[in-house]
Amino acid sequence: MNKFALLLVVLLFGVVASTSAQIPGKPFSIYLDAGLQSTSSPDWFKDYHKLGYHAEGGIGFKVFPFVEIVGKAGIQVMAKDWALIPNSPLDGGNVRILTFGLDARAAIGAPLAPIKPFVFAGVGLAKISEADITISGSGLLNSLYNNQLDKKTKMYYNLGAGLEFGGGPFKFFIQARYMGFTAERIEVPIVGEEDNKIKYIPVSFGIKF
């Protein structure tokens, strides 16, 4: 399944590149953004992780005058929060999510307006892992807790909206999106969780050129 998804991404890039060559004007744009993110669900993900941060880069290819296909890669990091466990022997740690995907991004409104709303949606591949968790006086449990999440690559989806502003070769944007994917867990439970459908909300500020 993962090999098929990667092949699909490569084929889509080929189609986009050939189509964008037929659109007048600049055929591609570069996107860079960073920001914060809050966890949404399930409870074990929301309650035991702090506000996180992320960074992302992408290349957008114009397929219609107001529509781009954007290939992107990013990383999201969220620190662990053990405050809900009284006298917890657990300390530190974080979750890291690597993402690679494609978005369809559509501008809304007049092309010469100083502020342009846009919407986007897409899919991709996500790899989640845990690291740097420590348990007082237990080397074996340290290893087990740091390997709870199955590190297989999973399909993710995202959808969102934002505002683009500025003129000339550089434009700025702010956006929010909703991301979700499934992460399987190995049987070393912390809080007896069963729901493995991870969802979180990144809010980003970025530049387009």
pLDDT in tens, 40-71: 888 878 888 899 999 999 999 999 989 999 99
Is the pTM of the predicted complex or chain greater than 0.85?
no
Tell me whether strands 28-41 and 67-79 are parallel, antiparallel or unpaired: unpaired
CATH number for the domain including 70? 2.40.160.20
Question: Which residues form the domain of 14?
Answer: 2-208
Domain count, the chain: 1
**Tens-place pLDDT, residues 111-138:** 667 899 999 999 999 998 888 877 776 5
Mean pLDDT, range 150-163, rounded to an integer: 88
166 vs 76, residue with greater confidence? 76
Give the pLDDT band (50/70/90) at residue 187. very low
> What is the rounded CA–CA span in Å between residue 163 and residue 58?
17
Say yes or no to pLDDT of 193 above 60.
no
Of 57, 10, 13, 49, nearest to 33 by C-alpha is 57
Say yes or no to pLDDT of 21 above 50.
no
